[in-house]
Chain A
Amino acid sequence: AQKITQTQPGMFVQEKEAVTLDCTYDTSDPSYGLFWYKQPSSGEMIFLIYQGSYDQQNATEGRYSLNFQKARKSANLVISASQLGDSAMYFCAMRALSGGYNKLIFGAGTRLAVHP
């Protein structure tokens, strides 16, 4: 079965420090994609970063990087130099093929709180 697991319901980090949010996935498809989204208290989902299963290098987007360990089926999000505005829910998602169509499977999320 295709599944995303985020084991950290909540995380705290000091401003300007780095933080790692964990994500593990389960799929038997050789081709898949992994996404991270941020959800502030306002509710909208903001796309952060993407990693394809065949990508040789870890994805990076500004302060966000994805620590992709294919053998361990993990795709952890690393936020460097945390800012107060990073406080939000973070969701890991996996692209899955179902009936010939692409859809996203989401984890339960991790709530990040950045302290001054």
Chain B
Amino acid sequence: DGGITQSPKYLFRKEGQNVTLSCEQNLNHDAMYWYRQDPGQGLRLIYYSQIVNDFQKGDIAEGYSVSREKKESFPLTVTSAQKNPTAFYLCASSTGRGDEQFFGPGTRLTVL
């Protein structure tokens, strides 16, 4: 079955540590996205990538980094520079032509 997988489902991090969230898709989509969702709020765009080896900052990129070495994969690293990283992180993909985005199940990150 085609879809998007994110791992892990839950992630706990100590302050000062970098963590990497995984996102993989087998939909053959060119575009991939990372969003952050805080409780009771909508989604905010962190980074997006339209093609391999290319990505752009979204609205809240500070403290995050990404890579796009393969079409199927778009990992997100939450660095120690992110002041308030506790949130729900959603990865999405699309053809890139303006149609709907398909979302993964999300990763819930908690900083201890």
Contacts and interface: CB of A to CB of B under 8 A. Distances in A.
A95 to B, nearest CB: 5
Q: Give the dominant DSSP class at A's interface.
A: strand
Given A43-B106, A95-B98, A103 B42 contact: no
Contacts of B108: 43
Contacts, number: 55
Contacts of A99: 56
Contacts of B94: 102
Interface stretch (B14-22, B43-51, B68-76, B77-85): B43-51
A91 B42 contact: yes
B9 to A, nearest CB: 9
B43 A106 contact: yes
Given A50-B100, A104-B45, 9 more contacts: A43-B106, A44-B105, A44-B106, A99-B56, A101-B31, A101-B56, A102-B31, A102-B94, A102-B98
Contacts of A42: 105
Most buried by A among B42, B44, B45: B42
Contacts of A95: 98
A99 B45 CA distance: 14
Interface in A50-105: 50, 91, 95, 99, 101-104
A31 to B, nearest CB: 9
Interface of B: 31, 33, 40-45, 48, 50, 56, 58, 88, 90, 92, 94, 96-106, 108
Given A44-B103, A44-B104, A103-B58, A33 B98 contact: yes
A45 interface: yes
B20 to A, nearest CB: 20
Contacts of B31: 101-102
Contacts of A12: none
Contacts of A46: 103
A47 B90 CA distance: 14
B42 A108 contact: yes
B80 to A, nearest CB: 25
